[in-house]
Chain A
Amino acid sequence: MAGNRGTVQSMVSVSSAADDQSFVRFHNVQKSYDGETLVVKNLNLDIARGEFLTMLGPSGSGKTTCLMMLAGFENATHGEIRLKGQRIDNVPPHKRDIGMVFQNYALFPHMTVAENLAFPLKVRSIAKAEIAERVKKVLDMVKLGHLGNRMPAQLSGGQQQRVAVARALVFEPTLVLMDEPLGALDKNLREQMQYEIKHIHEGLGVTIVYVTHDQSEALTMSNRIAVFEDGVIQQLASPADLYERPQNAFVASFIGENNRLPGKVESLNGKDCGVRLADGSLIRALPVNVSGQGDATTLSLRPERVRINPDSGTDNTFEAKVEELIYLGDHIRTRVNVCGNDEFIIKVPNSEQNGQLAAGETVRVGWSAQDCRALDA
């Protein structure tokens, strides 16, 4: 899933998000629609100028609600939202100067593409000649220069999507919100659009808050990712950090594939800990989210960090029985039974030194304590 991550990793330099002049700040924001259940619980989030921040999380976790509060279509029940240091709670949506790409595009069906793009400029009373020029420029940017006279209904899904992005950018807002803008596209178009949005972001230096529930999309595009679950940010980190160093079991399982081994902490010092699994095997792991001996924990281990026939000095080595092999071209997904867990996945790179495994065979597998993270149970 995260195979091509890093290839378009952003080179934008992002100022420290924690400084006082953060561009967008959610401070203790809570939101309840019905006055009983909180769909956003005490949200604190600072977004830096020029940042590409992604809100990632399962359905119903409150991502759209956060965007709607920022755009001004919902009010926060509690807490405050600041933009450039100013409270925006009392500013009506049309004065916030925030571009927004809606999940369903929301193109005006009775206007041509060019008229759609000219709309935000017209309401700002910009001169006709300049409008025409800026519309042309933004159409070229999204590579739709020849389609200005079409009606939205005459465009393909991907073209409509690009018009929606162009319309949110044409009036040069400093902040653009995108709510699952690629949700309706097929895989190829989706990837192509991810690159285009990324390039636009780098080219214009706008701040983008992006919502998705597709983790590979989040990993390829973002400077930082906020992982939402049930109205709470579980972790806020760069894509690499999130993937390599998940802070809890939810994040570990939500981002990328991982092997989960439940156990109990038996020994703990600053650098590593020993975890006893149900079948009795003892694993050395990196303590992340455990506080003391006897804690229940879930070990999280990425399938690509497990070695077949490891070097002798490896922290953890075990006998494993190969259960199933799935050929995936660049790697072979190998399901083994190890430490009493028969859902254990290893990604074996398709290279000569790994030779041929066969189902039923017994092999030695191993991984380092650093790669095996002891998280909350």
Chain B
Amino acid sequence: MALPTYAGPLERTWYYGFRIFCGLIFFFLMAPILVIIPLSFNVQPYFTYTREMLTLDPAGFSMRWYNAFWNSTAWMNAIRNSLIVGVSATLIATVLGTLAALGLSRREMPFRGLIMGLLISPMIVPLIISAAGMFFFYSSVGLAGTFPGVILAHAALGTPFVIITVTATLVGFDHSLTRAAASLGASPATAFRKITMPLILPGVISGALFAFITSFDEIVIVLFLAGVEQRTIPREMWSGIRESISPTILAVATILVMFSIALLTTIELLRRRSERLRGMAPQ
């Protein structure tokens, strides 16, 4: 989209102004994340750039906080807990969300809009309200302060993402394919496994990744529901900031940023693959 040769002064101003504006937005979004990455290599236990760092003196940098992170049982426990909760909640959310999306995509399904609204409400209702509600409800059934409690709560948060991404994949899904599979002798289960599932898989996987990330950096529900046993990474960072103020959390944050970038790249690659499969993009 290069500037056309006939562009007048107004168009030129708009053209460059628009690009500068976009750049500013990116800066606004990215700066807080980017700024912590160099800080995590700080030799000093400060949250500010030292003179050595600004002059790029190697003496100003170290892996100190990364080592502290690897050697801390509290952090290692937090990672283990985050993975247990994240993976379990993702599995539950993916299965439930996929099934719900499949059901909701059927024409004969009654009250589709209403049910859809209910199922994605955890995304819309303020988290603190869900968390408070869950706290009282889970306490009364003995789930508060347990892994199943945190996992179920996170599954409820993640399910809407799966429903939305799978529903979006199903919009373009040709239902005569399942009929074709049946006419060729495939039972409904086989048709689902061999035809429907591979075709909606990109939607399922991106939904699952969103659900996992949601659980992975969720703090409000963890604060309400989790006991000492269920301290997750965000919970550990929370106390790290309030109690010990150690740049270790900068190292953790950097690792998490890298992790998120890897996940998002996966989503993008999957999306391209699904487009290619459906013949929307040239091979």
Given A119-B194, A153-B279, A154-B283 in contact, is the A106-B180 Cβ separation under 8 Å?
Answer: yes
Overall SS of chain B's interface: helix
Does B37 lie at the interface of the complex (its beta carbon under 8 Å from any beta carbon of A)?
Answer: no
Contact in complex: A102, B184 (CB < 8 Å): no
A123 to B176: give the CA distance in the assembly, Å: 18
Q: Does A250 contact B (CB under 8 A)?
A: no
Q: Which residues of A contact B182 (CB under 8 A)?
A: 72-73, 92-94
**Contact string, A67-111, partner B, CB cutoff 8 A, digits 1/0?**
000011100000000000000000011111111101010111110
**Contact (Cβ within 8 A) B199 A109:** yes
Asked if residues A94 and B183 are in contact (CB atoms below 8 Å), the reply is yes
Given contacts A109-B278, A109-B279, A119-B194, contact A102 B186 (CB under 8 A): no
Chain B: which residue is nearest A103 at the CB level? B176
Q: Which residues of A contact B188 (CB under 8 A)?
A: 94
Of B179, B195, B278, B279, the residue contacting A73 (CB under 8 A) is B179
Q: Which residues of A contact B185 (CB under 8 A)?
A: 94-95, 97, 120, 123-124, 171
Q: Which single residue of chain B is at the shortest CB-CB distance from A119?
A: B184
Contact of A98 (CB < 8 Å), options: B183, B190, B278, B283: B183
* B92 to A: closest C-beta gap in Å: 27
Contacts of A276 in B (CB 8 A): none
User: Would you call A264 an interface residue if the criterion is a C-beta within 8 Å of the partner chain's C-beta atoms?
Assistant: no
The answer to whether residues A110 and B183 also contact, given A102-B176, A104-B174, A119-B194 and a CB cut-off of 8 A, is no
Query: Chain B nearest CB: distance from A152 CB in Å?
Result: 8
A316 CA / B180 CA spacing, docked (Å): 55
Query: How big is chain B's contact interface, by range?
Result: 20 to 34
**B199 and A123 contact, CB distance less than 8 A:** no
Residue contact B174 to A106, C-beta cutoff 8 Å: yes
* Contact partner, A102, options B179, B194, B195, Cβ 8 Å: B179
* B177 lies within 8 A of A94 (CB): no
**Interface flag for A224 (CB, 8 Å):** no
Among B179, B184, B190, contact of A167 (Cβ-Cβ < 8 Å)? B184
CB neighbours (8 Å) of B179 from chain A are: 71, 73, 93, 100, 102, 106
| A94 partner, pick from B174, B176, B186, B198, beta carbons under 8 A | B186
B181 beta carbon closer than 8 Å to chain A: yes
CA distance A100 to B180 in the complex (A): 7
Closest chain B CB from A95 CB (angstroms): 8
- Contact code string A18-61 (vs B, CB < 8 Å = 1, else 0): 00000000000000000000000000000000000000000000
Q: Are B277 and A110 in contact (CB under 8 A)?
A: yes
Closest approach, in angstroms, between the C-beta of A131 and any C-beta of chain B? 13
Using CB atoms, name the residue of chain A closest to B199. Answer: A110
Most buried by A among B179, B181, B184, B194: B184
Identify B195's interface contact among A71, A95, A108, A168, CB under 8 A.
Answer: A108
Nearest-Cβ distance from residue A177 to partner chain B, whole angstroms: 8
Task: Please give, as numbers and ranges, the residues of chain B lying within 8 Å of A95 by CB-CB distance.
Answer: 185
* A residues in contact with B195, CB < 8 Å: 108
Q: Could you say which residues of chain A place their CB within 8 Å of the CB of B194? A: 119, 123
Interface string of B191-225 (1 = CB under 8 A from A): 10011001100000000000000000000000000
Q: Which of A99, A110, A119 contacts B181 (CB 8 A)?
A: A119
Nearest opposing residue in chain A for B188, CB measure: A94
Q: How distant is the Cα of A93 from the Cα of B191 in the complex, in angstroms?
A: 12
Interchain nearest-CB distance for B272 vs A (Å): 14
Q: How far, in angstroms, from A361 to B183 measured CA to CA in the complex?
A: 61
- Residues of chain B having any CB pair with chain A under 8 Å: 174, 176-177, 179-188, 190-191, 194-195, 198-199, 277-279, 283
A–B complex contacts, Cβ < 8 Å, 28 sampled = A71-B183, A73-B179, A92-B182, A93-B179, A94-B181, A94-B183, A94-B184, A94-B185, A94-B186, A96-B183, A98-B183, A99-B183, A99-B184, A100-B183, A102-B179, A106-B179, A106-B180, A107-B180, A108-B181, A109-B279, A110-B198, A119-B181, A119-B184, A124-B185, A151-B279, A151-B283, A154-B283, A171-B184
Binding site for B on A (CB under 8 A): 71-73, 92-100, 102, 104, 106-110, 119-120, 123-124, 151-154, 167-168, 171
* Closest 6 pairs (CB-CB, A-B): A153-B279, A120-B184, A106-B180, A100-B183, A93-B182, A106-B176
